[in-house]
Structure 1
């Protein structure tokens, strides 16, 4: 679940009532913990943070963080311990043992297969299907993975120890582990690895032992374990699945590519931006129920895929017409592979949605744009207790929460008037000017928050549906609409910075051309890589504004130049 990076939604200090509820929930989920151990995990006076995140597949997860380390994560209202907690209490969960080289596969996102489980003399732990359990390596009881039992221990025996054993959720060295202090597992001697087991049973053979460090640092094709079939069952399944996934995606890409060339692209459209070709044509040709994902293919990037289509298939010719902007400049319509390609039946292809103005464009969902604030060097002392270092970003509400907690924790609310906050040395250094040091002893709450936000670096975060969030410093550059003159006093309308909002300039150009029946062109923006501007004849600000506001649902505050539209929307 945490093999890939996740997005942090919020990070706040837990409230007193929530702290008590959490302690009760932990006690119910893990009844073996004593009252003293619960108090150690959920101390009354020490800061405990609640971090809400979205995993890379969109799952909402809640982390409970103490002393910078996540101790528990909550998924679908169920609590799971992290490896940091299990290193404190190794016997908290039933455990399955495996060989060290297998751990690298688990870190990469694989589940623990039963052929890779080492059965101790005492037998497998008694678990039911779905029970929370841990994974350890031979000779060390410190858990390195957490998950749920795929089947009961009885079924494991009845199936001859074949199939999936543990559905892994979290491992040592994954992104959840990296959210903490990144410490390594302690050495906890394995009680079963003693007199009851022979040296041959307890140790990895010399060949594997010599490669163990290399295996753990970098996956190798020749990884193996004492029982070759035990580890190969995991390794081959994982590699086979990955290769099969690549082959399926490669075939889908080729099908959509040929379909798009044969039925969507017209000679008059060339040269055609490669990004436009992917969005407007290939996506539209994707069969229902399937989705193009270049990262899951062997090509990884669109440019590499098109390069293969050019060099090995001789289907197209791609050229960089502007720096960093590639276009398809030629299509070999007589290519044997293209001519022999049979178009799928219409029912198997997702119909291109009819949109307001632009024909053949994939559905557009406006991005979520959020203002964030970054901790500056001057304000860092004020945020240290909340584990926020220089450069950490957060929402204004989180800033207010941290400042409020700081004031209350240090008992700075004015005794005579609770609307004021007493200035302590830290607040003085962070928020006051030198000329105010001797003059100001208290600040109103609103003034306190305003000064704090005013001294932080303003940032913004753009989240497009289904994509990783993009965070940048400063203010997001608005979409700029302007009118310029081009010889003989002819006017043209220019639209810039559409890409920042996930809007395809080619789609906008086509939509405007259809609306106003005037020619439009795309021009590279000087000094800006992978950015183009839309140019259309006449003063079309009214039409551009209508398209962006009504169809693309871009908030008016992010569009600059609407005030220059002619009255009544008439062209000049």
Structure 2
């Protein structure tokens, strides 16, 4: 369903009461059992039961979750579909955890990887799973490891699908179109078994508020696989499998699905998630050992601490709001600083592959190292109460080169790696905006005569000097009035058209020097370059068009609430997430970062949103980052509205 990227509106915090109510609805809808204490009832046991329910709610829908409405198209007729996405974090950055369409809640693979057995699990060969990941449905002959099938896999039930080769890792979510639990055989039975809703690799999986790609599936998840089958049995089942069906669905030899064809015809075909191909050449692409993974996570944490110390020198806690939750430790201090240079290293650098296995134990390790002071909270997670910024390991840490993050454009302004937006903080940077011109093709004779590159880039002053050199070389200065320039065929063809004013000037045979200078500027195509710190024009990569503006938009939402949106930051080397973090503190309001509607998934433009009319605070924060006020455009959509 999510082969095409959905249009997701700005996220809003989920109230605690709404989060608990939604979690309870999920528990009831899927019949999830709350862990119970079998000992006789007592006050302690009642408290334990309440704690178990609270823990289950948090596991399904973590605290600080967000929600937003979305719209997309589905099916061969591209039917409009709308619903709600729920965003949260288990151990890393925020991801979409649940999708609600009509009255049905669908968990994403991220939720399934952290919550075993909340759905009935069906199995099919890996080759079929790969077809499901292209948007196909699961046919009845493709079902394996049964009958019998899970009792809860009835018609209309939401189910998970895993491959026989990785039976503990759900890779897709869908809805049963038949009563799978009642099937007595699958061979020779035709028809759809499961309509695929979401899969690892679609646009829901690849979404993140930072633009980074989706998280690769784990190799093994304890708790999902309750059956043990020998390799021979699995091989035998696969050999006997007939997964072709004339009604559509998964057919290993089939062409594109009807939905794919419809999307192509209407220009709506979804784009593949971007892949990280810009690796550092000297790094060997290999799997890391557990010791190397541990060292990488520790160094990433130290890097994150040093980064915040450098970026927020005047803040008493260097911009960190204690206590830090496990998810904040991962998203703020670890994940952005991991040395994920190659695909193999990226696959290795997962907390579950470290010796700690989870972020909770990693935080406790930092406490034992006396780098941080932590404390158990609610018996479910560990929070960092403080960091020893003067610790010897922090002071002695030497930053390393950070890799380019996927999901960002390969180059930023001036042709620099986009990693500069995250690894080089923008506070106190010096920016210079240079306007350039490229002469149009009809001006080539003038440039050639002046011995200049016809396809070169020039500032307006340089281009005027080219004109002066040409005029003097051709002896076109009027002897009686040096302000007048005589027109020759080359100047006429290059700089004059057929308007009445142009015809009058041609008839007169001469124009003023200033007028001719303005014409050569207006007859050239505009380019611009944004130079950072000591960068020169020769080191930059100028871009076509007029210089972009950082856009600040004030809008009224939810009745009379005002929000401030900021976009166009990337062109000025300003990273959206750190700016959002600063505005959250200075404006004392919630902030969010999301992809700007209409921007390319491969080269996303991010939009920062902060609660309240915060134009002045935003401009002040931008000026700290070298952005001149004249480069900012303010659009106030809250004015001019009649009050009813």
TM-score, normalised on structure 1?
0.42
* Highest RCO, 1 vs 2 (Cα 8 Å, sep ≥ 6): 2
